[in-house]
Structure 1
Amino acid sequence: MTSDIILDNLDHTYPEAAAPTLRQVALHVPAGTRTAILGPSGSGKSTLLSIIAGLTTPTGGDVRLAGRSVLRQPPHRRDLGVVLQRPLLFPHLTVAENIAFGLRMRRTDRAVVRRRVAELLDAVALPAYADRRSTELSGGQQQRVALARALAARPAVLLLDEPFSALDPQLRGDMRALLAELHRREGTTTLFVTHDRDEATDVADHVAVLLDGHVAQHAPPAQLFRRPASLAVARFLGGAANAIPGTARAGRFDCPLGSLHLDTNHQGPGLLLIRPEAIVVAEHDAVNVIPAAITAVTDRGTHLDVRATSAGLTLHLTTGPATPLRPGDETILWLPPTQLSVVAAQHQQRPASQQR
């Protein structure tokens, strides 16, 4: 049976550390869902997973699975499947024996073990490798076996700590697709730790952004990108290239670009954010159109990175490779209201829109 995960104000400070690794982490992962813990190196992601797995004891707070605290339970009693960056397969066992290991430790009936192993070998597309040693497999194949082994006993929760980071980009994409398929088949509550925002949005229904040891925002991927909760979240997600100072009131944002229509309820001073890919070139019959001068164009092959100036501000946008833009061109830019968000200004740092 799958389980929800509740992290109740978790704190953790390592001995002799200058600052806490985790600070008041509160998170609810509903049963049967996939959540990614996304953050930069050193943000506390692996520590958080280690606490849930029972390998680290927090200095404060609680971990509840299926509504019950598990802090006093050893790792093997928590009904978890765990996959790490390194597969850590048993080199003296075959692929089938590795997958069956947890079931045999539970003294599961042999016929049930055989059926479950065969089912998972088929699910990870490795039925022909059942009798091979793990040392004969590629890195991607080893991680497939590690996934199958973690799911063999039908755990209530599956924990994954950057399991695909050592693989090449093509394999990472294949493994993310496999994880989605396994979730569809098994329905196991999944918590996936990564520093890769594309990976997080590929594998998860919700993403919790962990910055400086606390959850800065927890939301569906689309909401994170369109409505970041803070400038720090926007920066981490690559959405702070355009940060325009001004004041929001009554559905508008007054700034050097004019009085722009908003689709948010923010009131008061702040920074207007719009992602570079959300700015549209040469739209005339809409609100939030502004004149601009193109100052730089970089061809990235799949798209153009463009810089433009308007009302003394520098705007960053991306557009299709066939868009006829050159430095010196005068154009019109559209800032769709549904793509605008407003966050509180961080006065100690210059807005990206004012950096040259």
Structure 2
Amino acid sequence: MSKRAYNFCAGPAALPEAVLRQAQADLLDWQGRGLSVMEMSHRGEDFTAISSQAEADLRELLAIPSNYRVLFLQGGASLQFAQLAMNLLPEGGSADYIDTGIWSRKAIEQARHYGTVNVAASSKGYDYFAIPAQSEWQLSKDAAYVHYTPNETIGGLEFDWIPDVGDVPLVADASSDILSRPLDVSRFGLIYAGAQKNIGPSGLVVVIVREDLLGRARAACPTLLDYKVEADNGSMYNTPATFSWYLSGLVFKWLKEQGGLPAMERLNRQKKELLYGFIDASDFYSNPIAKNDRSWMNVPFRLADERLDKAFLAGAEERGLLYLQGHRSVGGMRASIYNAVTLEAVQALVTYLAEFEKEHG
């Protein structure tokens, strides 16, 4: 069997090898039942057991309080930009949004279809290289909720603190940093996260919503997008993304076997300190983000001479270091080092960075 590559893709991202092997073993014959998870009824006892265990394991990992519902939905985080507003932004109402990059701006754009958006703070004044301190925020008195993006996958900005917004529901698009370390869910009204970075494969979005926020959908909200309808139907108002849900459940089990989120925090800290430490010590590579606001999960960097970018990427491919090209909107390079990206992978990347700098610096 050929050696697996080191996958630094921003999403769909690396999955734990142990999870892939388990899925491979289950693919044709799940637990001796003679069929695949992809072939079983989502309402049958077999899949009900899979889905219930996945939710239980996620609740344990994040210590989710009992007054929160966990939904396994479809459409990705991008659909949540609109679904959130249809459920929590009343007709004629307003909501506060924090702009720290491309994904928060996409959320703002969608919310404006449904009500007034107050951009309470923006990283624009910092060229999107830093997060405004909360003392700079201009929050509304009557906001239905406050929305922010804890980690900007493209720009590499990440909050190392949870905003304090009083009694107003705090909403987070946690797609790219959920499960990377412990999180106090009780500080939030709603958390949503696309699966394809730290949860599982694409095709699924997890929504964690406080129960008192259910039942607020506007009249024009499609039934399928009403959080209360989905909660009342166990996320099965229609056929869910069963295979993505199953695989996510395997990831949750794997995370527990690693020691849970405290263990992932230790590992992720080690990985990001190794990579940022090398970049900072080099004159050949650079990262523009304010040090306190650097992402643990997505590390953008640039070469001193962008004419070397193609050669750098070609050399990386030859060494099995995949998907290091930065997002098309910002250029440069980006290494995404989610939970399933091993320390060995980051060490291999740093070794290549040193070799390339020695050859071309």
- TM interval, shorter chain, is under 0.3
Q: Could you state the TM-score of these two structures normalised by the residue count of structure 2?
A: 0.22
Higher relative contact order (CA 8 A, sep 6+): 2
User: Which one has a bigger Cα radius of gyration?
Assistant: 1
Q: Which of the pair is proportionally richer in strand?
A: 1
Q: Could you state the TM-score of these two structures normalised by the residue count of structure 1?
A: 0.22
